[in-house]
Every structure is written in structure tokens, then in C-alpha cells.
Amino acid sequence: MVTRRILAIGGGGFMMEGQRSAIDQQIVALARHSCAGRKPRICLIPTPTGDAESVISEFNDAYGAVAETFQLTPLRKPRSNSLPMRDIAQSLLTMDAVFVSGGNTKSALGIWKEWGIDSALREAYNAGILIAGMSAGAFVWFEYGFSDSYYDGFAPLPCLGWIKGGFCPHFNGENQSRAIALREAVNSGQMPTTIAVDDYAAVLLEDEVVTRVISWRDNCSAYRLSVAHECEITADNDKSSSGSRLPLTTGLS
């Protein structure tokens, strides 16, 4: 039976840490489940960054030695490892994992809808391909993300709605400004019950349920916020979820 998987990263990884980090290595490990001894096939979707060349380069540097890398970049001319734009769904179904970058979620959603990338990603997700992402790439799968896409502060942003509730990245970052604004938005009813994830932490959802909280720096975790209530997500309060601490460096063969 296929298990649908999303790895939602609050912040960190190659985009923030400048190199392949522990969470990037975890993505490779999760993708290897379907590889049968070969390198995993991982596709970068950097639409939230406007398909920035710097992000593409950083991704290839971080993953090139441990995975076969591809990119889906409708805003750039194709290169040898680009997925064709004619049949995106079929191409994504040949991947072991997809990674969606941080950036501007609202802009990415508009482009995805125009090209049918949103529906192609849903097919990949339903087929059991690992969907991973950081910041914008973490909350786009939820009903609402707590976003700064308008560049005038934080606000709820309607997203794809694959997972009920909301998601907030960078919960312990940005001088606590996002965390303060999120608490106000949840308590006022602007945001639904929300999973908030710190920088250097992530949650793994299997069939839309959190099954692991992963961190790779001290005092970084994930939380569930509802009206007048906030708790750390642990095995006791999120069904079968379990916390795990990743080492700062992990050798990969």
C-alpha cells in the first residue's frame, strides 16, 4: 500500500546553511527507500525563487554527489537535467523525491496552476514519491500558510489544501516576529490550528499525519497552535509521532 509522505522543513538545509546539511542527507535517506541500490532521483522545483540560478547551483552542489539531480524550471530555458514541460506529471512520477524551495509562495502557486504543476505534484504525492520543501516549499501543501508573500508583514495565505490546518515556518527565527504574529492570528481565528516549525527542524507527515519531528540543532522543534493553546509536538500528542535528533554531520555513501 502506498504511503503519502511530505517532509516540511521550517528552515535550514542547503538554501540556508550553504552546503548539504543533515536534513538534506535525511531527504536522500528517505528517497532511497524506493531506489533498490541506485542513487535516488531528486527533482528541484525552485519556482518560489523565480527559478533563481543561484538556488539551482546550490542544489546541484549539495545533492550532486549523492543523488541524480533534476530540475523543473518553467521560467528558465531547459538544460540537460531539466524535466520536459509537455508532460510534467509523467516526468515527476519517475522521481524518488521532489524538493520545493523557499521563496514567494503566492507567485509560485500562480505559475504552478498555469502549467499544471500543482496537479502533477498531487499525482506524484499520491503515488508515494517523497515531497520535501523548506519554508514556502513546506507550507504550500496545507490549507493555509503563514506567509510574507506580500512583503508587508505576515498573513494567512490560502494554499493547496492537501493537509488540513495551517503551517508556519521559521517559528524561532526572524527575532520572534513571525511567532508573535502567528499567535495573534491563531487566537483571533485568522489562522486555523497550525503546525509551527523552528529553523533547523522539520516534520515528516505520512498520510497527512505527523509521524516524526526531526531537529539537527539544539532547542529546535515543532509545535501545534490552536486558540489559547500551544504545545510541542511529541509522540504523546500527535498520534504515532516520535522525535528524533539528527547529527550535525552524517556520512553518506
| Segment 140-183, tens digit of pLDDT | 999 999 999 999 999 999 999 999 999 999 999 988 999 999 99
pLDDT at 238 over 50: no
Selected residue with higher pLDDT from 35 and 60: 60
pLDDT at 248 over 60: no
Asked whether the beta carbons of 41 and 27 are under 8 A apart, the reply is no
pLDDT at 250 over 70: no
pLDDT at 209 over 70: yes
Mean pLDDT of the chain: 92
pLDDT at 195 over 60: yes
Closest C-alpha to 208, from 4, 7, 27: 4
pLDDT at 253 over 70: no
Take residue 34 and report the three cell numbers written for it: 524506493
pLDDT at 241 over 50: no
Question: Which residues, 6+ apart, have CB-to-CB distance to 115 below 8 Å?
Answer: 74, 85, 88
Asked whether the beta carbons of 74 and 43 are under 8 A apart, the reply is no
What pLDDT is attached to residue 244?
A: 55
Mean per-residue pLDDT for 62-84?
96
pLDDT at 86 over 50: yes
Residue pointed to by grid coordinates 515531497: 131
Based on DSSP, count helices (H) and strands (E) in the chain, helices before strands: 8, 14
Q: How far apart are CA 240 and CA 230, in angstroms?
A: 19
Phi-psi region of 126 (alpha: psi -120 to 50; beta: other; left: phi over 0): alpha
Closest C-alpha to 166, from 187, 148, 127, 140: 140
Residue 1 binned pLDDT confidence (cut-offs 50, 70, 90): confident
What pLDDT is attached to residue 142?
A: 98
pLDDT at 121 over 70: yes
Cα 236 from chain centre:
24
Mean per-residue pLDDT for 58-69?
97
Residue 35 binned pLDDT confidence (cut-offs 50, 70, 90): confident
What pLDDT is attached to residue 251?
A: 29
Count of beta carbons in the 10 Å neighbourhood of residue 205: 22
Tens of pLDDT, residue by residue over 6-20, are 999 999 999 999 999
Q: Report the interhelical angle of 117-126 vs 105-115 (nearest 10°).
A: 90
pLDDT at 72 over 60: yes
List, by residue number, the catalytic residues.
Answer: 135, 170
Residue 54 binned pLDDT confidence (cut-offs 50, 70, 90): very high
Q: How far apart are CA 22 and CA 246, in angstroms?
A: 6
Continuous H helices in 53-176: 53-63, 88-92, 105-115, 117-126, 136-139
Q: How far apart are CA 110 and CA 131, in angstroms?
A: 19
Cα 161 from chain centre:
14
What pLDDT is attached to residue 92?
A: 98
